[in-house]
Structure 1
Amino acid sequence: MNTTTFTIYSKISELPANWDEVAAHNAFLQKPYLTVLEASAPSNMQCFYIGIYEHSELIGVALAQYLNLNKLESFGERDKCLKTAVRNFVFKNFASHVLFLGNNMITGQNGYTFNKEIEFKHISEVLVQCAAAITAYFKKQKINIHLVSFKDFYPHCADELKAFDFKDIYEFNAQPNMIFELSEEWKSDLDYVAAFSKKYRDQYKRARKKCDDIRIRELSLEEIITQETRIYDLYHHVAKNAPFNTFFLAKNHFSSFKKQLKNQFVLMGYFLDDKLVGFHTLLLNGTVLETYFLGYDSDVQKEKMLYLNMLYNMTEFGIQKQYKRIIFGRTALEIKSSIGAEPIMMSGFIYHRNKFINKYIGKIFKNLEPEVQWQQRHPFK
């Protein structure tokens, strides 16, 4: 690592010209997406963009996010219990300033990428050093970072990192990432439905019938801007009823996304009697289809099985466009497994900068992490 250095940037305009060439394999680390964050990040988030150099040549890029949880309107309103109240108190008082090395807004290994083979020894070293440098920056601003988290690593990467600088950092496994590996034999939605067992084929038919009078179409940038308030209200309703939140999107997030990524970003609107009652979003990321945020009217969702129909529509979009896999993320595990997604465990690493608290970080984390009981479904013959 004597020849490796890093530079931390706070503005997209400062990034090297060849940034996107290095980040070519991950849309979530390329300038258009990072520009979306700069223009419409949650109000309690500040982003940092890290260039990793070898002999002054850019060989890697990474993302870091600082979250001030004191600015959060709610940690989530779905669960009302003593454990939730205790968790909220702890976060407000002992973990309100959080630094993520990675992207806290999406699920998946999207925190860094290199354009050449790099040993995990060097990766672990540079990530830890970057965290220390950003922590020192905030200390100068009179802000004391409480928690540092390195987010979302697939098992083989986590195992490699633990052999080096991550060996003394607490590893945690939150809910799995639901990933759908699409069969190459599926050329249309008919092939997909034909692969279901009778029970799940019946579920598909029932859901589709419920949604007969819903009109679905992709929204242009102009339409997204026109519907911005309604889109945000639908998103916000779903987000605030999640079991746990660390941020809420800015109101202009979806229009900013469409402006920057154009055809790479898809927002599908669901209309009932010409009124927008739901939407889902997709990011086209090479051979991978990334599901992004969605929203819906809860009354319509219940009556029309709107969420399940959204999952089917995202899957059929992926099949029609011949994507290899769909990343469905961490929420609603059981219903996502019922349409074919499989759980893939991912690891994160976390430490508290107070040594006494960090000594018990494992016990504290297990007691604060919302428990999710779910049964995996197996929909195919």
Structure 2
Amino acid sequence: MAAESQSETCTRRPSNFQFAVASRIEFLDAGHWDNVTRAASVFMSRRFLSGAQDDFVGEIVRDFAIVYDAGLPVAAVATQSFNVSGEQLFDQKSQQRWTLSPELKRKSLALVKRRITMCGNVHTWGPDGVAFAPGCDRAKVWPGVAECLYRIRRANRLHGQTDYVIVKDLFEGDREPASELAAFRYSPLETEPNMVLAIDPDWRTFDDYAASLTKRYRAAARKVFKPFENESFEVAAIDDAHAEADDLYRLYQSVAQRADVCLFSLQQSTLPRMSDSLAEDFVNIGIRQDGKLIGFVTVIRDGDTAVGFYLGMDYESNATLPVYHRLLLAVIEQAIRWRCRRISFGRTALDAKSRLGCKPEAAHVWVRHRVPLLNAFVQQILKTVSHDEPPERNPFKDAT
């Protein structure tokens, strides 16, 4: 009862924070936003958001906000609001693991067929919806973020009644301060881990990385490289994303259409736009066979992290050539070239990425339903949702 009373109190009274909320990033104070996000992800930067905010107009409603404490900016918030069905939100593998009867599962999915306000980015992974000013006490600021999300949800009623608010994706270091959200009836949900490869500072080339592998895994990497050493193949950066936008989009769609969950596939203009806005921190690496593009991977430099982001490939080519695995190795090559300290490979193909030396980085989201009574039901549903875990594997010589 005490916890329930605390939750009731928190959700029914304003905090002592102040807010500036806008539908476009340029409407907010640029200096305040930059000050709060200077140590945050590149996906929270104005240069990225200013271009991304025009994607999916009519499908995604975007809001941006700065949270102030006594007039000082302490947090930046970026949200996306959209309609989604239960089948989109939970993939078939997740549904099969639910310990529910088929009828209850069907009704549960129907309940999820609602409108979502997401504090984060539907196309990225990681804490790309909220950033905190350096040096602030995050636990004390999270209640301000919770009120900010409430204000955004209420302001967007003309676009449709929001049913769920989701804060994604938080990592282990965020767990304790973000637990303040529980007082506002948010519930945590573990998701697939982010696969991360730590880069040894001594690696100056891909050969250095390969030399650190055990004989078995080094041979596997060489086997992936071998077919592409033929003169009919070229693996290199794509210089002009605008000129090759059609091929990039075609290859991306061939992958997106096979994904278990793809709420919004990219638009044809997305990759060229990202190339423009991120400049030297963005590269498309392509594989060509006799001049024809048969695969590509996008790599983004996010501080000292290289993000292996979008990927596209011709599946007929991949059936006879290790196109996918060569693209993964291209990400490692680029990260070493940039002198990054780690690579974020995302949450798919856990087995393949573990073979590269990736380790899982635990991730979770916080979910809240608009109707208090349904929050208890949502909590029970979330307890039945599980996710894939990567195999334990260490391909390096120093394995113990």
Where 2:279 maps in the other structure, the secondary structure is helix
Deviates more, 1:210-219 or 1:232-241: 210-219
Distance 1:81 1:319, change over 3 A: closer
Residue 6 in 1 paired to residue 19 in 2? yes
Identity of aligned residues (%): 22
Equivalence for 1:349: 366
Separation in 2 of the partners of 1:360 and 1:327?
34
Give TM-score scaled by structure 2 length: 0.85
Aligned with residue 252 of structure 2, among 231, 235, 247 = 235
Aligned with residue 56 of structure 1, among 57, 71, 88 = 71
Equivalence for 1:35: 50
Moved over 4 A (4+): 76-93, 366-369
The residue type paired with residue 378 of structure 1 is N
Aligned with residue 24 of structure 1, among 38, 49, 54 = 38
Residue 273 in 1 paired to residue 287 in 2? no
Aligned with residue 28 of structure 2, among 15, 35, 60 = 15
Q: Deviation digits for residues 192-229 of structure 1, max 9, x if unmatched?
A: 10111111011101111133343122123xx3222212
Residues 125-136 of structure 1 mapped to structure 2, 5 A cutoff: 125-136=143-154
Distance 1:352 1:60, change over 3 A: closer
Deviates more, 1:86-95 or 1:254-263: 86-95
Equivalence for 1:260: 277
Equivalence for 1:119: 137
Separation in 2 of the partners of 1:122 and 1:235?
42
Where 2:241 maps in the other structure, the secondary structure is helix
Where 1:175 maps in the other structure, the secondary structure is strand
Aligned with residue 138 of structure 1, among 135, 156, 162 = 156
Where 1:216 maps in the other structure, the secondary structure is strand
Q: Deviation digits for residues 314-346 of structure 1, max 9, x if unmatched?
A: 112112221111111111111111111110101
**CA positional deviation for 1:89:** 7.7
The residue type paired with residue 219 of structure 1 is I
Separation in 1 of the partners of 2:109 and 2:299?
31
Residue 166 in 1 paired to residue 182 in 2? yes
Residues 205-216 of structure 1 mapped to structure 2, 5 A cutoff: 205-213=222-230, 214-216=233-235
Residue 379 in 1 paired to residue 395 in 2? yes
Separation in 2 of the partners of 1:335 and 1:363?
33
Equivalence for 1:218: 237
Separation in 2 of the partners of 1:296 and 1:286?
27
Separation in 1 of the partners of 2:141 and 2:315?
44
Aligned with residue 351 of structure 2, among 320, 323, 334 = 334
Separation in 1 of the partners of 2:126 and 2:363?
8
**CA positional deviation for 1:91:** 4.9
Distance 1:184 1:302, change over 3 A: same
**CA positional deviation for 1:79:** 5.3
Q: Is the 8 A contact 1:152 1:347 kept in 2?
A: yes
The residue type paired with residue 71 of structure 2 is S
Where 2:225 maps in the other structure, the secondary structure is helix
Aligned length: 374
Deviates more, 1:330-339 or 1:34-43: 34-43
Equivalence for 1:109: 127
Separation in 1 of the partners of 2:15 and 2:374?
33
Aligned with residue 309 of structure 2, among 274, 292, 313 = 292
**CA positional deviation for 1:93:** 5.4
Where 1:248 maps in the other structure, the secondary structure is coil
**RMSD over aligned Cα atoms:** 2.8
Equivalence for 2:322: 305
Q: Is the 8 A contact 1:334 1:377 kept in 2?
A: no
**CA positional deviation for 1:189:** 1.2
Distance 1:160 1:55, change over 3 A: closer
Equivalence for 2:339: 322
Distance 1:247 1:154, change over 3 A: same
The residue type paired with residue 27 of structure 1 is V
Q: Is the 8 A contact 1:125 1:165 kept in 2?
A: yes
Distance 1:284 1:170, change over 3 A: same
Where 2:178 maps in the other structure, the secondary structure is helix
Residue 99 in 1 paired to residue 125 in 2? no
Separation in 1 of the partners of 2:248 and 2:222?
28
Q: Is the 8 A contact 1:42 1:249 kept in 2?
A: no
Separation in 2 of the partners of 1:38 and 1:185?
39
Name structure 1 gaps, 5 residues minimum.
none
Q: Is the 8 A contact 2:15 2:144 kept in 1?
A: no
Equivalence for 2:6: none
Q: Is the 8 A contact 1:173 1:346 kept in 2?
A: yes
Separation in 1 of the partners of 2:330 and 2:243?
24
